[in-house]
Chains A and B, each alone.
Chain A
Amino acid sequence: MRYLAIIFLVTGMSFAQNKQILYGFSEIPQTLMLNPGGQINNSGYFGLPFVSHIHASAGISGFTVYDLFANNGVDFNIKLRDAIYNSKPRDFGSINQQVEILSGGFAIGNIFKKNEYISFGLYQELDGIWYFPKDYAILALEGNQNNINKVFNASHLKLSGEVISVLHVGYNKKVNNQFSYGVRGKIYSNILNVNSIKNRGTFVTEIGDNNIYNHIFNLDLELRTSGIAGFEDSEADDVYRELKKRTLMGGDKGLGFDIGFSHQISKQWYVDGSLLDIGFINHSKDVENYSIKGTYQFEGINPFFSELETGQTANDYWNKIQDEFSEVFEPDTTYTKFTTWRPIKLNASLNYAFGEKKEKECNCIKKEKEYQNRIGAQLYAINRPRQPQAALTLYYYRKLFKGLSMKTTYTADSYSLNNIGFGLSANLANVNFYVMADNLLQYKNIYDAQSVSLQLGFNYIFKKNED
């Protein structure tokens, strides 16, 4: 039972994909994953396998885990009802998790002017989103007795989830001191996919003509899966082996790309932007889809004069009704291949640097003085099944000491308007370590958080000569 609660908690939380603290944090090589055209200030790096980038985030809109599970003496069923009635069909939960398996990069080009950069790697990602199926919840909670004439909307059921691995190679070019651009090609390998996003239809109980009620069903529901059906009778070892194979690019394939740029407007101002995961996956292995489609009206039966009305006995007529009912409501299983699109993400930022570093001694060789502070605004948007979601971030960045820098963020998004985040990047000799988390204000009661996000990682950096 406890496990069920934890599953509920995890699925109920939404791991937001926004990495507003990492974005533009150019000491950390993984910022290139958020903008392939971003600024680079190393001549090469490799990530420590499996720990170069660990990301997990979760969020939920509408109600929080604390709203439901607070140990406050209030009956759980009352809290559940409150949560259901206060939630809207556009409320959602989503999860996102990433682990870099391999990651690296190096500068190329003329030995005096290495203005191009190649980065590459393999990472695994889990992404899921579900919307609150309000009308289904109301029907399960109340039944139809108090909802005569209410049209229950079947489209409230909307969810999608995928586990994939991504093999990628990126190219970044610093065209001049003002402008850089970059692209990243991606090959996706599907590990598991479940989605049900195009559901339509209604159910209504109306006052009938022949009988008290007329029940009208009009349903068009579909759940598509890939990578799951084959596991039904498999041993745990086989499942593990197969998942490992798919992680190493042995699953259904897809293609995608990222693009990005950064532009120095003046000495102190710059803008940048990126589009990520413009891509698709073709699902053909272990595909199994279920659909419920059809319309049906039921007013009851006339058992007394059945033969007069229908030409058959009451029981034959009843059997016919049951058959028709099953035809509509028993899910049809199909094995049709399908294509899913990756959730496209947009990032953009406007930044202002200030506060030149004061040198203790006059340094006439150093070309430019470094700014110690930066403030800026970032926009993030992601395409989701119901509608795109956006977040706006304001940040303050500061170099603290040599090799240590920090960034604090304030973010307003679909979950909350008071998300404060903080991140640190530390370089000790050639080792870079970073850690960042958001929604710090919510940590005083983590269960009451609408969303939480955490990233950390270790890299080995080859510094630029001029540093």
Chain B
Amino acid sequence: MIKQLFTYTYIVILINSMCLSCSKPVDFDQVNDLEITPVMESSLVYLNQPATSFLNDGNQISTVQDYVQVQFFNSDFIVDNLVKAEFVFETTNSINSGFQVKVDFLDVNSQLQHSFSFLVEASTNNLNTTSNFTEVFQDNTLLALKNTSMLVFTLKMLSGTPVTQNTVGYVSLKSKGVFYFNIDADL
């Protein structure tokens, strides 16, 4: 009898534990708080040229300019999630002449949205001079970046010793873009 009672109790407890399972409070709406903030870095433009590259048929070229068309900054993903960006430039120069680097940001209608420039110091002794420059895109300038569909790059050789076939030295430029994202659960 007691054994039977024991067996019954055992079964009841087990069945209860199976059917009346409990759960501590969970809140699936927390998914709405999802927010990830990856930072992507990408190489941008580069340059590594001897002084003689600035000669054309023996004549000095003082300005080099070209452009690229980019849809990247207008893409939905960038427009929605990019919260800050930086263009970081590292230059070294061993030419006895300074340079100016200028980047213009144009929209689809070729209207200027943003522009910045920086100087590369001349090297008076043909040893490398280094200089760095960072352009930060936030608020208005970030909006300008997101409107950009063409980048115009201008490299201007500043006054210095005129370049000849015998001019020594190199100018080099390396750059990267740093893209700060804030991706939230806007689902």
Contacts and interface: CB of A to CB of B under 8 A. Distances in A.
A4 B186 CA distance: 12
A238 to B, nearest CB: 28
B48 A445 contact: no
A213 B39 contact: no
A69 B18 contact: no
Interface residues of A, number: 62
Contacts of B88: 212
Interface in B25-77: 25-36, 38-49, 53, 64, 66-70
B33 A75 contact: yes
A6 interface: yes
A15 B143 CA distance: 48
Most buried by A among B21, B40, B178, B187: B21
Contact of B66 (A66, A80, A304, A437): A304
Contacts of A211: 43-46, 174-176
B69 A318 contact: yes
B67 A315 contact: yes
Given A71-B25, A71-B27, A400 B42 contact: no
B39 A143 contact: yes
Given A76-B34, A143-B181, A303-B68, A69 B21 contact: no
Contacts of A315: 66-69
A8 B31 contact: yes
Contacts, number: 167
B136 interface: no
B46 A314 contact: no
A5 B29 contact: yes
A87 interface: no
A70 B68 CA distance: 50
Nearest to A400: B7
A214 B27 contact: no
Interface string A305-329: 1101000011100110000000000
A265 interface: no
A214 B33 contact: no
Nearest to A307: B66
A304 B153 contact: yes
Interface of A: 1-2, 4-6, 8-9, 65-66, 68-71, 75-77, 80, 139-146, 148, 205, 208, 210-215, 298-306, 308, 313-315, 318-319, 400, 406, 422, 424, 435, 437, 440, 443-448
Interface of B: 7, 11, 14-15, 17-18, 21-36, 38-49, 53, 64, 66-70, 88, 90, 151, 153, 155, 174-176, 178-179, 181, 185, 187
Given A140-B38, A446-B21, 8 more contacts: A68-B30, A142-B39, A211-B43, A303-B67, A305-B47, A400-B11, A424-B15, A448-B24
7 contacts: A1-B31, A9-B28, A143-B40, A208-B43, A214-B43, A304-B153, A305-B49
